[in-house]
Amino acid sequence: MNAILKAGYDLLSLPIATKISDAWLMAKFKGKVSPRVAEEIKFGDEEITPKVTIVIPVYNVERYLALCLQSVCAQNYPNLDVILVNDGSTDNSLSVAREFQAKLNLHIVEQENAGLSAARNAGVRAIENTDYLMFLDSDDALAPDALKRLVSKIVGTGSDFVVGDTTRMKGVTRLKRRDTRPVFAKGNLNGTSLLLHPDAIWDVTAWNRLFDFMFYSNNKFSFPEGMFFEDMALMTKAYIRAVKFDVVAETVYLWRVRTEGAKSITQQTNDDKKLADRITALRQMQGLIKAGLVLGKTNEHNLEVFKDRVWKHDIPLYKHIPGSRALFDGLLK
């Protein structure tokens, strides 16, 4: 039975299935765009719609970028800036982006190729003013009404950021992320903390959350440049620095698993450099959690949950690489 299910899953994940899925999603997103987008949306007692800025790093993603940007259009969010950082693309990504300048309040920042972290940091530096900040990877998409859900939650609680659930797209298949299920198992949470919700450490991706921009800028957050898995330690720091954060258990982010062309960074697990960078990121996460003990921001249970995450998620990703287990064992001593 498992072999049959796997064969079916593989069939539904073929590149042709991805093209069918993307065409269906594009039609869905286009159908969601409202001509009344300019109307203000009221959140609680707010008289005006808070401003949201989305930073999108772009490098050679002409195949996926139109769908990504169309998902932003489909948000129908009236007070929205989009900062797209073209990180030295050599394909037609820039041309695709320019097609959306008339549809979105889209600002394009161009730079020589410097990597994902540098592109995200450049996008943040380009912000003149905003209330909230979100990151979106250019091969992914926002779920319909994601911004309204996230903004409504954070405005109502006054939290430092809100993290939402992610659905994994592979071909025509749609599955909630398995590794982060403990984060959302309790449903929606208001004003929690890492002490109260230690399972949050399972979710340390930058792109499925909305930050209060004052919180982000006051903490001088910056993605470390020159390494992979750059968001893992930074998001851990955000959990620890936050007075409180929220959890939205509905899907707000559609994360693509590529089935054609170059794999995304998170799919590349045969690379010694990426293994070394993951170990480095995990060491940084562990160090931050230990430092939080002194500040009363974490406790021993947080460390146990972190170790459980490493055993169940990080180690299995690299078990096929000789010597990887020794590296992880050294981390967990």
- Whether the pLDDT of residue 8 is over 70: the answer is no
Label the pairing between strands 132-135 and 141-142. unpaired
CA-based nearest residue to 126, from 146, 107, 145 = 107
| Cα 19 to Cα 32, 139, 175, 215, 289, distances in angstroms | 20, 13, 18, 39, 42
Stretch 101-130: mean pLDDT: 97
Q: Does residue 121 contact residue 51 with C-beta atoms inside 8 Å?
A: no
pLDDT, tens only, 184-222: 999 999 999 999 999 999 999 999 999 999 999 999 999
d(CA 30, CA 233): 36
CA-based nearest residue to 283, from 305, 307, 264 = 307
pLDDT at 35: 74
Q: Where along the chain do the CATH 3.90.550.10 domains lie?
A: 2-261
3-state helix, strand, coil split of the chain in percent (to 5) is 45, 20, 35
pLDDT, tens only, 65-86: 999 999 999 999 999 999 999 9
Tallying the residues shown for the chain, one arrives at 333
Helix (H) or strand (E) holding 243: none
Label the pairing between strands 245-256 and 141-142. antiparallel
pLDDT at 39: 60
pLDDT at 268: 44
| Cα 286 to Cα 258, 299, 305, distances in angstroms | 30, 12, 11
Q: Tell me the pLDDT band of 304, cut-offs 50, 70 and 90.
A: very high
Strand partners, 173: 170
Q: Does residue 210 contact residue 154 with C-beta atoms inside 8 Å?
A: yes
d(CA 315, CA 30): 41
- Whether the pLDDT of residue 157 is over 50: the answer is yes
DSSP symbol at 34: -
Q: Dihedral of CA 260/262/266/269: which sign?
A: positive
d(CA 254, CA 59): 19
Structure token pair of residue 204 = 């340390």
Q: Tell me the pLDDT band of 329, cut-offs 50, 70 and 90.
A: confident
Domain range 2-261, its CATH number among 3.90.550.10, 1.10.10.10, 3.40.718.10, 2.40.30.270: 3.90.550.10
The burial class, CB within 10 Å (0-12 / 13-18 / 19+), for 132 is buried
